[in-house]
Structure formats: C-alpha cells, structure tokens
Amino acid sequence: MRKRRDDREIYERALAFRKAALNDKELLEDDAGNPATMGGWNMFNRK
C-alpha cells in the first residue's frame, strides 16, 4: 500500500475541492438545510 501520493494526484484533488468551493451556491441551491434539532445538545434530551 502506498503511503505517499504523487504530485499529480494531489493536484487533481486540489482542483476538485476548488471547483466545489467556487460552485457552492449551485451545489446547495436545492438544499433545505438541517432542522434546528439535528445534532448538538438536542440529541441528548430525554423525557
């Protein structure tokens, strides 16, 4: 198993992250978001 990545693979992954960051509005325009009770301390409310 390789532990190091070659420069080409690092460059390709960096481009993919950059592309997603630049187009975040398009990628998330249909996303309604998380409900207010998702995650955080609300997960521990017990009755």
Determine the pLDDT at residue 16. Answer: 94
pLDDT per position as a tens digit, 1-47? 566 778 899 999 999 999 989 988 887 788 777 666 666 666 666 65
Write down the pLDDT at residue 2: 62
The rounded distance, in Å, linking the Cα atoms of 44 and 46 is 6
Residue type, 44: F
* 20 touches 27 (CB < 8 A): yes
pLDDT for 29 equals 81
What pLDDT does 1 receive? Answer: 52
CA distances from 7 to 3, 15, 31 (A): 13, 12, 34
Residue 5 confidence (pLDDT): 72
Say what the pLDDT of residue 26 is: 84
